[in-house]
Amino acid sequence: MALADCRIIELPKINDPRGNLTFIEGSHHIPFDIKRVYYLYDVPCGAERGAHGHRRLQQLIVAMSGSFDVILDDGFETRTFHMNRSYYGLYISPMIWRNIANVSSGAVLMVLASEIYDESDYFRDYQQFLKAARNSR
């Protein structure tokens, strides 16, 4: 899998003077069935999250509130996405190392995931990730 597979997906948005509404249907608006949802919040100023890769997991990250940067790395190149709208999701394919930085005060990061939590799916060591990513091409 390559960085080229990772992309911003524009989600449906129902504009309404009473407030906007966005919805996400698994395998319809995003390329996978949703097996898990988690969210990060109360992130202290300057804290960085992520710093890992996944063997099989696909994810969609949405800035429900506030803003943050997601830095993606496929072992060959990196790309930074600035997230600050709740109707944009960042799709992350398998075999991508990700760092999350510059999280604004009060930001809420929602993550939709294609699999339930499985620690054996993680690369926690960057060198190990790099080796696997480069061998997989």
Catalytic residues: 52
- Cβ(95)–Cβ(135) below 8 Å: no
**Applying CB under 6 A, which part among 49-57, 69-77, 83-91, 125-133 lies near ligand TYD?**
49-57
For the bound state, the minimum distance from the C-beta of residue 113 to ligand TYD, rounded and expressed in Å, comes to 7
Residue 38 binding ligand TYD, by CB under 6 A: yes
Could you say whether residue 40 binds ligand TYD (CB under 6 A)? yes
Number of residues engaging ligand TYD in binding (CB under 6 A): 7
Instruction: Give me the least distance between CB of 19 and ligand TYD, in Å please.
Output: 28
Question: Does residue number 49 form part of the binding site for ligand TYD (CB under 6 A)?
Answer: yes
Range 62-65 contact pairs with CB under 8 angstroms and sequence separation of 24 or more: 62/11, 62/86, 62/88, 62/89, 62/90, 62/109, 62/110, 62/111, 62/112, 63/88, 63/107, 63/108, 63/109, 64/39, 64/108, 64/109, 64/110, 65/106, 65/107, 65/108
94 binds ligand TYD (CB under 6 A): no
Residues that bind ligand TYD (CB under 6 A): 36, 38, 40, 49-50, 52, 117
